[in-house]
């Protein structure tokens, strides 16, 4: 693989997130490194009749810190999260959008589900008051593309704009597609990630009916336990994760801080089942290999993997098999952790928040832990960085995101070398 020019290389220069672990990338990261859990009793609505009564809720979030009160009323909670994460990421990157650069700055922010709260409220109004009770803002508030659309309107970004809607891979796909947008020359800067706010009565009921959620209601902070033999399902969570991607030559010209370089992306389809991952891990394995091939790196050069691992029995096993297919003997030595053990599963926002954790792992040379690892699963016999963060050399790291429908995305990042 020939050396890329600075116009072809893509770097990460800003981070912004809203998670159950905290508001802002540094707050969320600090909690993750300390092994803190953001899971607790579900408070957004009365969950007394639900089989799962726990969630990773975002606490102390005030959308008016990031949006005008009039705009807040026009935006579902998932859009509010997206705007907040974007503003924090732009501030971190030191980017000001103006009439000279706005057409070269794009927004790709995905969402797996969209405006569930707005949908459910307006359905109640339809039943109670008839068609006239439905808000004229109903449609633009629920559709998934408003994470990117509304955000671009508020910040004035006039470059390419879209939302990947690939369930739990939405943020990962949005980021990977944004990398391609820069490499193809249609943008200099891309604001990319995902946002989700689906801890609503109907959405949670649906996941409960699937038996996908943990029912460890008496121990919320121990409920999300990826790779552990006693795991019984994922914990639904909410939030947003947004990164600023930038053409390297553009970043250098303006003297930007550079967190890491994106050196590979991977896509694949399981073509197997609407919710379950193929048991042999074939689809995720091909996405990981694609990212490595694009980067021109061997598996043994990867130091850390932020796994998709959601804490479901089948999903975690399948991802381990995928890692073994790609990494061979080295699969037992590469550090693999799941920050979902602390944050819960942010669904369409997961890949954004988790890429931020992956990038900060490189910056700080520390692998975040998989907490709640108490009972080894012989089918998940990997180094999952159990229970405590680990100081270690991390030059290359991988972030996995896999969605319902068998839609897989992988982002590979590397320590920036000028």
Cα–Cα dist 205/195, whole Å:
20
Do you know the residue count of the chain? 418
Query: In three state form, how does the secondary structure of the chain look?
Result: CCCCCCCCCEEEEEEEEEECCEECHHHHHHHHHCCCCCCEECCCCCCCCCCCCEEECCCCCCHHHCCCHHHHCCCCHHHHHHHHHHHHHHHHHCCCCCCCCHHHEEEEEECCCCCHHHHHHHHHHHHHHCHHHCCCCHHHHHCCCHHHHHHHHHHCCCCCEECCCCHHHHHHHHHHHHHHHHHCCCCCEEEEEEEECCCCHHHHHHHHHCCCECCCCCCHHHCCCCCECCCCCECEECEEEEEEEEEHHHHHHCCCCCCEEEEEEEEEECCCCCCCCCCCCHHHHHHHHHHHHHHCCCHHHCCEEECCCCCCHHHHHHHHHHHHHHHHHHHHCCEEECCHHHHCECHHHHHHHHHHHHHHHHHHCEECCECCCCCECHHHCCECCECCCEECCCCEEEEEEEECCCEEEEEEEECCCC
Helix axes 146-155, 77-93, angle to 10 degrees: 50
Task: Specify whether the backbone of 392 is left (phi greater than 0), alpha (psi in -120 to 50) or beta.
Answer: beta
Residues known to be catalytic: 168, 308, 345
How would you label 34-51 residue by residue, b for 16+ Cβ within 10 Å and e otherwise? Answer: ebbbbbbebebeebeebb
The answer to whether 335 touches 248, Cβ cutoff 8 Å, is no
Q: Which of 195, 223, 222 is nearest to 52 (CA)?
A: 223
**Block residue for tokens 């891979």:** 169
- The upper half-sphere exposure of residue 150, i.e. CA atoms within 13 Å in the direction of its Cβ, equals 32
């Amino acid at each position: 693989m020939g050396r890329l020019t600075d116009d072809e290389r893509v770097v990460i220069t800003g981070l912004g997130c809203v998670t159950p672990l905290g508001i802002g990338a540094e707050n969320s990261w600090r909690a993750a490194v300390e092994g803190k859990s953001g899971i607790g009793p579900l408070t957004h609505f009365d969950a007394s009749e639900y089989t799962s009564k726990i969630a990773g809720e975002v606490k102390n979030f005030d959308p008016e810190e990031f949006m005008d009160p009039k705009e807040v009323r026009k935006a579902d909670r998932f859009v509010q999260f997206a705007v907040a994460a974007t503003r924090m990421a732009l501030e971190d990157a030191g980017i000001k959008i103006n009439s000279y650069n706005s057409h070269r700055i794009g927004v790709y922010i995905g969402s797996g589900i969209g405006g569930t709260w707005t949908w459910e409220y307006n359905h109640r109004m339809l039943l109670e008051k008839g068609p006239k009770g439905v808000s004229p803002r109903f449609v633009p508030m629920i559709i998934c593309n408003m994470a990117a659309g509304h955000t671009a309107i508020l910040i004035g970004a006039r470059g390419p704009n879209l939302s990947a809607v690939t369930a739990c891979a939405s943020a990962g796909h949005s980021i990977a597609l944004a990398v391609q947008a820069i490499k193809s020359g249609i943008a200099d800067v891309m604001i990319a990630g995902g946002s989700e706010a689906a801890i609503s009565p109907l959405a949670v009921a649906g996941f409960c009916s699937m038996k996908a959620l943990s029912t460890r209601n008496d121990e919320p902070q121990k409920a999300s336990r990826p790779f552990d033999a006693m795991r019984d399902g994922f914990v639904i969570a909410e939030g947003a994760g947004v990164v600023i991607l930038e053409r390297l030559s553009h970043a250098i010209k303006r003297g930007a801080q550079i967190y890491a370089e994106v050196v590979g992306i991977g896509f694949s389809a399981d073509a197997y089942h609407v919710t379950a991952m193929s048991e042999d891990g074939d689809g995720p394995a091909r996405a990981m290999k694609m990212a490595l091939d694009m980067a021109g790196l061997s598996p043994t050069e990867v130091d850390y993997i932020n796994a998709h691992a959601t804490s479901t029995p089948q999903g975690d096993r399948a991802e381990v098999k995928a890692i073994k297919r790609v990494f061979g003997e080295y699969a037992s030595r590469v550090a693999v952790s799941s920050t979902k053990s602390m944050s819960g599963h942010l669904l369409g926002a997961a890949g954004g928040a988790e890429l931020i954790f992956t990038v900060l792992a490189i910056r700080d040379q520390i692998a975040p832990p998989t907490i709640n690892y108490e009972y080894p699963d012989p089918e998940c016999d990997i180094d999952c960085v159990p229970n405590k963060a680990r100081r270690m050399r991390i030059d290359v790291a991988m972030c996995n995101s896999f969605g319902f429908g068998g839609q897989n995305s992988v982002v590979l990042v590397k320590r920036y070398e000028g």
